[in-house]
Amino acid sequence: MQSAAAVLGFDEALTKVLQHATDLPRPPSEPLALLACGDRVLAQPVLADRDQPPFNRSTRDGFAVRASDTLGPLKVVGQVRAGEQWRGSTLEQNTAIEIMTGAPTPAGADAVVMIEHVERTNNSIRLLAGRLIRSGENIVPQGSEARAGQTVLASGSKIEGAEVALAASCGYTELEIYRRPKVAIVATGDELVDLAATPGPHQIRNSNSYGLSELIRHAGGEPVQLPIAPDRRPELEQTIRSARHCELLLLSGGVSMGKYDLVEEVLQSLRAEFFFTGVKMQPGKPLVFGRLPADGQFPAQFFFGLPGNPVSTQVTFHCFVEPMLRAMGGAAVQGPRFLQATLAEDLAGKPGLMRVLPARWTPDRVRPQVRLVSWQGSGDLAANAQANCYAVLPPDKDHLSTGDVITILLR
């Protein structure tokens, strides 16, 4: 049964999760081909194999010059393209070399003047009236991005497109990556049937196991779907025991106050330690977080008891499970991804309870706006699929007005 003392405010509950995430040991790692590392977490740092850039690099199409010479006309004495090197001697006084973006600047040149900023006559150029050029302009100095041997990607970095490109520029064909933590999923309830079965008049399909599987993959874990656990103690206990080989256990349903909500009772019989048994939020109030003790064969295992209604399941996953799961995969410990947006409508608040409701935000560059999605409560999967975020309505206001700035939870 829930204890009122263990029902925490949202921030206090999130702090508990993040504290435990901070104490997690580093997971084992494995080498992976560079293009197989997307959305994974780096276990060993990536080092620059040479200076970046490896030469003084032009950032513009134009002319390499000595800035002090540009008050008068300059004679164009050659050309250098990207992938080439100027073979001549040091740039002489009052001369210029045509240069392309990405090419190494010739010795003696200390600036590149853009091609559109000069007037060219035959083999000479002159800056357009009113134009000036300073030493260093339009040149990236050798080693200014990274020096040979310098760490350019730290352990714990999530690998995405930018990181793949950086590793490739340093010559890496594979990276040492943390292994994905295995996450056991146990959906509970006599009303649930497998997808392949035809539900009876009072039954529903087991959507939570599938929704959670995709959320787990996106957060860097490896989902392990276990059979549906009926609302009977022996079967539920056996299913929980069968999940002990996984690093994290997620149970959906069975954590409310009903006669057949048996999850907490069974966990208690297995000597579970509970860190909280509820959160002051809507949806998601019955959320449970705790740890099963080591039993000689398996180490201690964290668990979350998620509410059974599917929108509640997904909201609490994004708020609490995802930060823990990412940390289990070796990423830096951080909370959910929150942003600020402007309300596009008036809303009623609910004092004393933080509400996290399906919404759509428009990613406008100047003024992002957010509007709630019409929904029928925390079982409304169709409304949840129409949303692209959740509006976070604070617990200390009974009304919010159009134009108010609120927090949104990205997903």
The predicted structure's pLDDT at residue 260 = 52
- The residue-averaged pLDDT of 325-339 equals 96
The predicted structure's pLDDT at residue 296 = 87
* DSSP string for 110-160: -EEEEGGGEEEETTEEEEPTT----TTTTEE-TTSSB-TT-EEE-TTPBP-
| Same domain, residue pair 35 and 21 | no
Is the pLDDT at 147 greater than 60? The verdict is: yes
Query: Does residue 333 belong to any structural domain of this protein?
Result: no
pLDDT digits (tens, 9 = 90+) for 284-326: 999 999 999 998 899 999 999 999 999 999 999 999 999 999 9
| Same domain, residue pair 133 and 165 | no
CB 44 within 8 A of CB 99: no
The predicted structure's pLDDT at residue 261 = 76
Both tokens of 286, joined, read 């019955």
Is the pLDDT at 350 greater than 90? The verdict is: no
| Same domain, residue pair 233 and 362 | no
| Same domain, residue pair 359 and 317 | no
| Same domain, residue pair 365 and 301 | no
| Same domain, residue pair 99 and 130 | yes
Count of domains in the chain? 4
pLDDT digits (tens, 9 = 90+) for 167-179: 999 999 999 999 9
| Same domain, residue pair 135 and 260 | no
Average pLDDT of the chain is 95
pLDDT digits (tens, 9 = 90+) for 21-71: 999 999 999 999 999 999 999 999 999 999 999 999 999 999 999 999 999
The predicted structure's pLDDT at residue 103 = 98
CATH number of the CATH domain containing 231: 3.40.980.10
Is the pLDDT at 258 greater than 80? The verdict is: no
User: Of the candidates 304, 328, 352, which is a domain's last residue?
Assistant: 328
Query: Does residue 261 belong to any structural domain of this protein?
Result: yes
Both tokens of 144, joined, read 């200014």
Task: Enumerate the H helices of 177-309 as residue ranges.
Answer: 207-218, 233-242, 263-269
User: Of the candidates 89, 124, 140, which is a domain's last residue?
Assistant: 140
Query: Does residue 256 belong to any structural domain of this protein?
Result: yes
User: Of the candidates 178, 195, 224, which is a domain's last residue?
Assistant: 178
| Same domain, residue pair 220 and 231 | yes
The predicted structure's pLDDT at residue 19 = 98
- The residue-averaged pLDDT of 118-132 equals 95
CATH number of the CATH domain containing 35: 3.90.105.10
Range of the domain at 119: 57-140
Among 221-230, 282-291, 347-356, name the one with the lowest average pLDDT: 347-356
| Same domain, residue pair 112 and 186 | no
| Same domain, residue pair 204 and 301 | yes
pTM above 0.85, yes or no: yes
Is the pLDDT at 113 greater than 60? The verdict is: yes
Alpha-carbon distance of 301 to 352, in angstroms, equals 32
- The one-letter amino acid code at 298 reads F
| Same domain, residue pair 42 and 170 | yes
| Same domain, residue pair 315 and 344 | no
Alpha-carbon distance of 360 to 362, in angstroms, equals 7
